[in-house]
Amino acid sequence: MSLYRLDEPIALDKPTVLAAFDGWIDAGAAATTATGLLATGGTLVATFDGDVLFDYRARRPTLQIVDGRLTELTWPSLTLRHARVAERDLLVFTGAEPDFRWQELAESVVELIKRLGVAEWISVGAIPAAVPHTRDVPIMATASEAGVLATDVQRGPMGIMRVPSAALSVIDMAVAAAGIPTVGYYGQIPHYVSGPYPAASLELLRVIGSHLGVELPTGLLTAEARQVRTRLQAAVQADETTRDYVERLESMVDESRLPSGDDLISDIERFLRQRGGTEGGLLN
């Protein structure tokens, strides 16, 4: 049985898929916020079978109770929606990261996007990193082939890096193996920040818009990013340890140098230890 249901046939002109899942590579909810903004109001094209993809004990549906009466359940979902920006057809594939059947899901996604005539796949994500909130959000990029990234973004990091995979990466690789060009844009979020980080969503939308050659809508993200930065500045100024740490990160960015992996781990451990092992970052 197929893992998806095609809800509505739709005429598309070489659409691009923008894909983002919550969880492992969605730090600050930056990727799902950006893609969710594009999907808002879009036409539902396909729905994936949550009963076989999600562990409902780990990702429970939300129950609404009104005046002592059970009224509504909101289930985790994974959907594909169509949005049109300027002359570009976009298919926004977003939702909760599946718990099960990743390889089968990848096969189903490849089957679906071939049916829809997809010309390109863009993975969107965000990762915690040793970067300061006072500087532009860095974007790390991946690509299945040379010459397909936005002009102001380079593929990297160079060398070999091994990390736990996300479901999105499994699908990305399957799509590339099927002969469809894939790229990935990943915002780097200050690791000491908790909660939504709209500045990264803004930068992801800017880079994706540059890649597509269109200006993407940003909604209220600019105002929200300004408010978060103001709160972060106040929190940093109130704590000397945090202020010193952020200043060191600023110096490294301004001098265009990066710490070694061992130095980076030591710095983060020292920072957390001096803050008493506090979890959750500066903003919740």
Tell me the per-residue pLDDT of 31-77, one tens digit each, with 9 for 90 and over.
999 999 999 999 999 999 999 999 999 999 999 999 999 999 999 99
3-state SS of the chain? CCCEEECCCCCCCCCEEEEEECCCCEHHHHHHHHHHHHHCCCEEEEEECHHHHCCCCCCCCEEEEECCEEEEEECCCEEEEEEEECCEEEEEEEECCCCCCHHHHHHHHHHHHHHCCCCEEEEEEEEEECCCCCCCCCEEEEECCCCCCCCCCCECCCCCCCCCCCHHHHHHHHHHHCCCCEEEEEEEEECCCCCCCHHHHHHHHHHHHHHHCCCCCCCCHHHHHHHHHHHHHHHHHCCHHHHHHHHHHHHHHHCCCCCCHHHHHHHHHHHHHHCCCCCCCCCC
CA atoms within 13 Å, Cβ hemisphere of 29? 13
Q: What is the pLDDT of residues 141-194, one digit of tens each?
A: 999 988 888 778 888 877 887 888 999 999 999 999 999 999 999 999 998 888
Cβ-in-10-Å burial (0-12, 13-18, 19+) of 45 comes to buried
Residues 6+ apart with CB under 8 A from 62: 73, 74
Q: Residue 276: what pLDDT?
A: 53
pLDDT at 271 over 90: no
**Span 211-223, average pLDDT:** 95
The Cα–Cα gap between 142 and 155 comes to 5
CA distance 201 to 222: 10
Does the pLDDT value for residue 237 go beyond 80? yes
How many C-beta atoms surround the C-beta of residue 51 within 10 A? 7
What does the block give as tokens for 160? Answer: 């070999």
Task: Check residue 279 and give its pLDDT.
Answer: 46
Contact yes or no for 131/264 (Cβ under 8 A): no
Instruction: Check whether 282 has a pLDDT greater than 70.
Output: no
pLDDT of residue 214: 94
Give the number of C-alpha atoms closer than 13 A to the C-alpha of residue 96, restricted to the C-beta side.
19
Report the DSSP pairing between strands 43-48 and 78-85.
antiparallel
Structure-block tokens of residue 240: 């000397």
For residue 205, how far is the Cα from the chain centroid?
Answer: 11
